[in-house]
Amino acid sequence: MSTPPPATEPQSAAPDTSRPLPPHGPDLDKVRAAVRGGTLAYFVDQFDIYLPIVVLAPAMIYFQSAGLSASTTALLSSLVFASTLIGRPLGAVIFGHFADTVGRKRTTLVAVGGFGVITLLIACLPGHETIGAWSIGLLIALRFVDGVFLGGEYTTAVPLAMEWSPRHKRGLYASVMTSTSPAAYAVIAGITLLMLNLMGSSGLHSSYVQWGWRVPFLIGAVLAALLFRYYLTQVHEPPAEVTGERHKLPFLRLLKQYPRALGQVFVLMTGVWLATNMQAAVTPAQLKSHLGLSSEQVTLVMLVMNGAAALSFPLYGLLSQRIGRRRFYMGYGLVVLFLGSGAYSLLMASDGGIGAALGWGSLIGVLTVGTFGPIAAYLTERFPAGVRSTGYGVGYSLALIAPAFYQFYLQQLGGAVPEHVAPVVLLALAGVLISLGGFLGPETKDVDMADDDTIPALS
């Protein structure tokens, strides 16, 4: 068992040059299988997360009474998304515990099977015309349970992949995995755009509103089944020397021994999620309400925006491997503060044409959510082996809660600034938090996953 960390932490952890890199050569097939599994898992996770934002946006009248005000409709729509985000920290604690005590692979299988079943159930939900208010209530409840399983899935799959990855490639492998997040959004947007053009979406009894939205949810359930099979047959548990000594209560150990590390990650991830929600959840509504774009045009802009973000992630991952994770996050926070919020302002000030929206949207994708490039590597490097899944999952998910209520913050800001400017203010705040979180943390890119002495976790 490793000794408790010192009371103070240096800003960087020098690599132990006396130790060679972990001998991944003989297990190269296992390395590739774990990285492929982590990449597929992240894609399926993000595909499921973004389903309500993109797929249900044109079909929310199916779940709600026609007599609701616009503000109530917007609030209920945001709760569908927020309920998933709120469930994720709970899933991180539950599944992180079992990943650190039972094993990464078995825990991943349970989590994947769980959210696959829930996604299938959502695809079968009746509407307001059939069961009244129970329809939206069941949707919110199922999305909460879905969030618990989703929180468990990345809490186990991502550390498993990073523990198999060689040190000098963690930034690249992490960025390839996380690039599937905007890629998943773009895929969903493409599917939705195709379906909106093939079938009617105007009115409660249109084809898309009645049954078309179910197709992407069914695709999500099938993807979960494929992911389950892949982990069952292809992915192996990391070596015992990498996963470390197992403890009965890893979450309590995390809170007791590493509260400052958890607090620093919380600051960073609060900024990350706040920027993400402005880009992914708020922008579609602003494009429609403020710029007057059609549903098809909004979907196209979001597809291009997230496609640009996906292409940028590997570059950010490689950059963090070169200059260090700490400097990357300090610098990228300033990018969000000045360039990301500036691009968003110019989008909102444009004439509303599709060309301008596509151009500024591409920049917003690159300049607001690039923090995810090396995030899988950084958070797994941040915590020792015995609490790695718990630390990664809780650190990644706990900060979701406050940003999940973005709609309330936007309403409050609406009294001080125009409605279309409020997201710019929250983007600027996100940039400040990202830079601050990076500044408060150590350098981690050279840590040895198998040696807790190189993990600069704060006490």
Q: What phi, psi does 373 have (nearest 5°)?
A: -45, -65
Percent of the chain whose pLDDT exceeds 90: 48
Answer yes or no: is 25 within a domain: no
**Distance between start and end Cα atoms, the chain:** 16
pLDDT digits (tens, 9 = 90+) for 120-175: 999 999 998 889 889 999 999 999 999 999 988 878 888 888 988 889 999 999 99
C-alpha–C-alpha distance, residues 294 and 193, integer Å: 11
- Evaluate if pTM is beyond 0.85: no
Q: CB count, 10 Å around CB of 250? A: 24
Q: How confident is the model at residue 339 (pLDDT cuts 50, 70, 90)?
A: very high
Helix axes 325-334, 295-323, angle to 10 degrees: 140
pLDDT at 352: 67
Helix (H, G, I), strand (E, B) or coil at 12: strand
SS3 6: coil
pLDDT at residue 419 above 70?
A: yes
Residue 245 has a pLDDT of 56
pLDDT, one tens digit per residue, over 51-79 is: 888 888 888 888 888 777 777 777 787 78
Q: What is the pLDDT of residues 98-113, one digit of tens each?
A: 888 888 888 889 999 9
Residue 327, both tokens: 């400097």
Name the more confident of 50 and 459.
50
Element (H, E) at 328: helix 325-334
Assigned domain for 3 exists: no
**Residue 395 in tokens:** 């650190």
Q: Check residue 441 and report its DSSP letter.
A: S
Query: Residue 333 belongs to a domain with what CATH number?
Result: 1.20.1250.20
- Domain count of the fold of the chain: 1
Which residues span the domain enclosing 383?
30-237+247-454
Q: Is residue 384 part of a domain?
A: yes
Strand partners, 310: none
Query: How confident is the model at residue 247, as a pLDDT?
Result: 62
State the chain's mean pLDDT as an integer.
Answer: 86
Residue 20 lies in a domain: no
Using the predicted structure, report yes or no on whether residue 88 has a pLDDT greater than 90.
no
* Residue at 263 is within a domain: yes
Tell me the pLDDT tens digit for each residue of 390-400: 899 888 888 88
pLDDT in tens, 192-210: 889 888 887 777 888 898 8
pLDDT tens digits for 234-250?
988 876 655 555 567 88
Which residues, in sequence order, are CB contacts of 183 under 8 Å at separation 6+? 43, 46, 306, 307, 310
Residue 428 has pLDDT above 70, yes or no: yes
* 258 is a domain residue: yes
Residue 13 lies in a domain: no
Whether 10 maps to a domain, the answer reads no
